[in-house]
Amino acid sequence: WWSADTLAVVTGANRGIGFEITRQLALHGLTVILTSRDIIAGEEATKTLLEQGLKVVFHQLDIVDRESIDLFCAWVKEKYGGIDILINNAGVSYNTGSENSVECAEKVINTNYFGTKNITKALIPLMRSSDEGARVVMVSSRLGRLNGRRNRIADVDLREQLEDVESEDIIDSTMSKFLEQVKDGSWITGGWPQNNTDYSLSKLAVNAYTRLMARTLSERPEGQKIYINCCCPGWVKTAMTGWAGLTPPEEGADTPVWLALLSGQSTSGKFFAERREINF
């Protein structure tokens, strides 16, 4: 359904899974805006893809910087009028292996959840109308599944509220409560996920937000639909996993790209891994 005029934006695309998503979307013939918070890294990544004959354009974008978001959106609006696909890939994690430090919790929650939410909100008004619908793909993680068996929030009421949020306030206040407990040291007994606690929570927030947005966006009229889904790329060999992951970035990018290009789709608010829907 797409063409060279179909425009996709990928965040955190200078390396890792984001770079691969950009490459694969461009190989499918789309035009891709490769974004990166670091200009030199982004330009170098773009040059590599341009040398392969792919249609890729670079623009700076730091998802935790309001000014950067505003400048990016103004540029998109002026140059293209709008976009068709947003892949929210940018993310950070500071835990490796079984280590569970929350030293960088604020950075992790601010980037993975608030940054992702802010760029999504800023770009939704720029998503173009089409019969196929515009798409938002959240590169999330199985660690943040709302109903995860082994890595879940202990408070059953809070878990139930998060599984079916009516507004983003409950997600935001849960993140604030966690960060307060990190500051006063009480997070250890706070009933939070036990594995990669801050990272897992940030992705849980992304998953809850995806479900909420899917419901909100479903009210848009035919022809102006926007579908939003989240996915897990697997355990991928990138800087984030200290290159320990088992899946090559090419495979990690597969499900996000597949989700972005689904034809005749009306799927929204779901979670996918290895091209399959997973209960979350």
Q: Which range of residues in 16-24, 145-153, 166-174, 181-189 is near ligand NDP by CB under 6 A?
A: 16-24
45 versus 225: smaller Cβ distance to ligand NDP: 45
The residue type at 217? L
Q: Are 220 and 124 in contact (CB under 8 A)?
A: no
Question: Does residue number 256 form part of the binding site for ligand NDP (CB under 6 A)?
Answer: no
DSSP 3-state percent helix, strand, coil across the chain (nearest 5): 45, 15, 40
Question: Does residue number 12 form part of the binding site for ligand NDP (CB under 6 A)?
Answer: yes
Q: Which range of residues in 71-79, 212-220, 239-247, 267-275 is near ligand NDP by CB under 6 A?
A: 239-247
Question: Does residue number 92 form part of the binding site for ligand NDP (CB under 6 A)?
Answer: yes
Which residue from 46, 91, 182, 229 is in contact with ligand NDP, where contact means CB under 6 A? Answer: 91
What is the x/- site pattern for ligand NDP, positions 60-89, by CB under 6 A?
Answer: -xxxx------------------------x
Question: Does residue number 94 form part of the binding site for ligand NDP (CB under 6 A)?
Answer: no
Question: Does residue number 151 form part of the binding site for ligand NDP (CB under 6 A)?
Answer: no
**CB neighbour class for 157 (10 Å; exposed up to 12, middle 13-18, buried from 19):** exposed
- As a whole number of angstroms, the distance between CA 258 and CA 275 comes to 7
- As a whole number of angstroms, the distance between CA 16 and CA 89 comes to 10
- As a whole number of angstroms, the distance between CA 31 and CA 56 comes to 6
User: How many residues line the site for ligand NDP (CB under 6 A)?
Assistant: 33
Strands 56-60 and 7-10, how do they pair? unpaired
Question: Does residue number 139 form part of the binding site for ligand NDP (CB under 6 A)?
Answer: yes
Closest contact distance (angstroms) between CB of 129 and ligand NDP is 27
Which residue from 37, 117, 135, 270 is in contact with ligand NDP, where contact means CB under 6 A? Answer: 37
83 versus 139: smaller Cβ distance to ligand NDP: 139
| Catalytic annotation present for 199 | yes
Q: Are 236 and 247 in contact (CB under 8 A)?
A: yes
- As a whole number of angstroms, the distance between CA 201 and CA 100 comes to 13
| CA–CA distances in Å: residue 203 to residues 2, 146, 225, 238 | 29, 9, 25, 18
Catalytic residue among 80, 94, 113, 199: 199
- As a whole number of angstroms, the distance between CA 107 and CA 114 comes to 10
Please give the residue ranges that form the binding site for ligand NDP (CB under 6 A): 11-12, 14-18, 36-38, 41, 61-64, 89-93, 111, 115, 139, 141, 232-233, 235-236, 238-241, 245
